[in-house]
């Protein structure tokens, strides 16, 4: 049995659903569990519904209507109007209507999970009906009945023992009388039946959880790229596809911010030695990139860019050394604010760290530190990580940029850079 995952980009419109159905038809004869995300940018749109509802700006219903229209259009284009899909999708949207009818009494994160999860429930219903209408013997599974989590809404942690047992039993039994099981990524449930979510972009992780629980032969992520590339094709022209990657390399890349796979995806697969294929959804016969335990090969320079970074320079006011106690206080605050540190370094009297630019969190950080330290924050920066760097690759990445911070390990270099404004650049060139 194999697990397929299709992200929002692969089901952004009716032709997307048809393409997914064709990929599945291409694998006729295989037993498949299919994990699907919400269509296109639906999760972002549902997030705005939550915000409008919670802060009562009066536009939640209007925003929800636009999302509904979008889905009904897809159903219409797929030629499924008049079938039971309409009732199915209506029933799901009605659940949000009910929530929006009430006053927002509950916690933001709780409400978020109840509303945003509808995106995956609706898209998986549409996919299920699309497959059935094309003669594919599919069944549908509400993943919330088998994937159990704790109660940390928006970042729920999986309860592995219970999930393992339930996922395996239900998928195996569904696959006894159907070829394909369609289910949702990103969402789960507490044991009290409250819907939870696993964190943004979490559908890859769901597919890895299901692969682990069912001891899948392999997991396949279908994407709008030929496989794992050496850089972001929207930013660089000369990127190449890698045929193979080790789990270790993949985990390092995602740790440094590569968006190609969700960072939590690799561990469950590595633990059971299940290979992961990152494949192009416009070419089902290509195997894309294989990620597995196979021995490390030779890697070309791999570039990962994280935008919108901030450099926080923290220095002691009294010229005492930065000691363990200071660092422990700083990290206490970072953990309280859930700010992830991307790079850091300390000198005798200062401590510098690079974090994602979250305006409100950074202001709180500054406020909390300012009693003891003087704090300077520079924003509008990029963090560039080059794995397996070469001199040429570093030069290329530094071109037209001012390097504010640099850290070099044996096979990884990280730079925090700022664009050099055009006028200054011209003057430099004239020199």
Find the binder of ligand ASP among 185, 188, 263, 275 (CB under 6 A).
Answer: 185
Q: What is the closest distance, in whole angstroms, from the C-beta atom of residue 130 to ligand ASP in the complex?
A: 18
CB of 412 to ligand ASP, least distance (A): 27
34 vs 38 by CB, closer to ligand ASP: 38
Pairwise CA distance, residues 385 & 408, whole Å? 10
By CB under 6 A, tell whether 186 contacts ligand ASP.
yes
- Per-position x/- string for 102-141, each x denoting binding to ligand ASP as judged by CB under 6 A, each - no binding: -----------------x----------------------
Site for ligand ASP in 7-46 (CB under 6 A): 7-8, 37-38, 43
CB 121 within 8 Å of CB 184: yes
Query: How many angstroms separate the Cα of 341 from the Cα of each of 91, 193, 333, 353, 419?
Result: 43, 34, 12, 7, 22
Q: Which stretch binds ligand ASP (CB under 6 A): 59-67, 198-206, 343-351, 419-427?
A: 198-206
For ligand ASP, the closer CB: 200 or 244: 200
Residue 413 makes contact with ligand ASP by CB under 6 A: no
Judged by CB, which is closer to ligand ASP: 296, or 307? Answer: 307
Using the rule CB under 6 A, give the single segment among 66-74, 84-92, 195-203, 410-418 that binds ligand ASP: 195-203
Kind and range of the H or E element at 53? helix 42-54
Q: Which of 68, 200, 241, 358 binds ligand ASP (CB under 6 A)?
A: 200
Smallest distance from the beta carbon of 38 to ligand ASP, in angstroms?
4
Shortest Å, Cβ 35 to ligand ASP: 9
Cβ-based neighbour number of residue 93 at 10 Å: 18
The distance from CA 217 to its chain's CA centroid, rounded to whole angstroms, is 23
Place of tokens 């660092």: 327
Give the range of 147-155, 194-202, 287-295, 423-431 binding ligand ASP by CB under 6 A. Answer: 194-202
Q: CA 36, 37, 42: angle at the middle one, nearest 5?
A: 145
203 belongs to the binding site for ligand ASP (CB under 6 A): yes
Interacting span for ligand ASP (CB under 6 A) from 58-66, 154-162, 196-204, 363-371: 196-204
Beta carbon nearer to ligand ASP, 11 or 304 = 11
Q: Please report which residue ranges of 57-117 form alpha helices under DSSP H.
A: 60-77, 85-101, 108-116
CA distances 134 to 25, 81, 338, 360, Å, are: 9, 15, 46, 50
What is the rounded CA–CA span in Å between residue 385 and residue 401? 14
By CB under 6 A, how many residues form the interface with ligand ASP? 12
Rounded Cα–Cα distance for residues 11 and 203 (Å): 13
Stretch that binds ligand ASP, among 138-146, 200-208, 253-261, 386-394 (CB under 6 A): 200-208
CB of 11 to ligand ASP, least distance (A): 10
Minimum separation from the CB atom of position 154 to ligand ASP (A): 11
Query: Nearest distance from residue 389's CB to ligand ASP, in Å?
Result: 30
Rounded Cα distance between 76 and 81, Å, is 5
Q: Which is nearer to ligand ASP, 195 or 414 (by Cβ)? A: 195
Min dist CB 244 to ligand ASP, Å, is 24
Q: What does the alpha-carbon distance between residue 292 and residue 290 come to, in Å, rounded to a whole number?
A: 6
Angle between helices 118-133 and 108-116 (to 10 degrees): 10
- A 10 A CB-CB count for 171 gives 23
User: What is d(CA 20, CA 238) in angstroms, rounded to the nearest whole number?
Assistant: 29
Span near ligand ASP by CB under 6 A; candidates 201-209, 322-330, 355-363, 397-405: 201-209
CA atoms within 13 A on the CB side of 354: 25
Question: Is 211 in contact with 3 (CB distance < 8 Å)?
Answer: yes
Near ligand ASP in 258-297, by CB under 6 A: none
Non-local (6+) Cβ contacts of 51 within 8 A are 57
By CB under 6 A, name the binding residues for ligand ASP. 7-8, 37-38, 43, 119, 185-186, 200-203
């Amino acid at each position: 049995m194999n697990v397929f995952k299709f992200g929002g980009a692969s089901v952004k419109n009716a032709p997307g659903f048809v393409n997914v159905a064709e990929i599945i038809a291409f694998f006729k004869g295989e037993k498949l569990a299919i994990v699907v995300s919400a269509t296109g940018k639906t999760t972002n749109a549902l997030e705005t519904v939550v915000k409008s509802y919670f802060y009562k700006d009066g536009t939640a219903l209007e925003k929800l209507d636009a999302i509904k229209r979008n889905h009904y259009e897809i159903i219409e284009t797929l030629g499924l109007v008049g079938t039971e899909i309409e009732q199915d999708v209506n029933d799901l949207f009605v659940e949000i209507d009910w929530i929006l009818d009430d006053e927002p009494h509950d916690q933001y994160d709780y409400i978020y999970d109840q509303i945003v999860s509808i995106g995956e429930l609706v898209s998986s219903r549409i996919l299920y009906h699309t497959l059935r209408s094309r003669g594919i013997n599919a069944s549908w599974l509400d993943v919330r009945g088998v994937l159990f989590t704790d109660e940390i809404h928006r970042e729920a942690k999986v309860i592995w023992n219970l999930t393992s047992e339930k996922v395996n039993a239900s998928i195996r039994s569904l696959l006894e009388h159907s070829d394909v099981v369609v289910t949702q990524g990103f969402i789960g449930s507490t044991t009290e039946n409250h819907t939870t979510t696993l964190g943004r972009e979490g559908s890859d992780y769901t597919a890895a959880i299901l692969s682990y629980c069912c001891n899948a032969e392999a997991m396949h992520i279908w994407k709008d790229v030929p496989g794992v590339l050496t850089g972001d094709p929207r930013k660089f022209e000369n990127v190449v596809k890698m045929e193979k990657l080790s789990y270790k390399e993949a985990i390092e890349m995602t740790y440094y911010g590569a968006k190609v796979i969700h960072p939590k995806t690799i561990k469950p697969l590595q633990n059971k030695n299940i290979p992961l294929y990152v494949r192009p959804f416009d070419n089902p016969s290509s195997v894309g990139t294989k990620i597995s335990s196979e021995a490390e090969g030779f890697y070309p320079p791999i570039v990962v860019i994280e935008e919108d970074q901030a450099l926080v320079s923290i220095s002691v006011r009294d010229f005492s050394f930065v000691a363990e106690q200071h660092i422990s206080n700083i990290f206490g605050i970072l953990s309280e604010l859930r700010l992830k540190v991307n790079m850091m370094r300390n000198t005798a009297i200062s401590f510098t760290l690079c974090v994602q630019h979250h305006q409100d969190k950074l202001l709180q950080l500054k406020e909390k530190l300012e009693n003891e330290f003087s704090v300077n924050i520079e924003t509008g920066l990029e963090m560039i990580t080059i794995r397996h760097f070469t001199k040429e690759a570093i030069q290329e990445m530094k071109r037209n940029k001012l390097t504010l911070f640099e850290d070099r390990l044996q096979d990884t270099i990280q730079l925090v850079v700022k664009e050099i404004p055009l006028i200054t650049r011209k003057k430099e060139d004239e020199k």
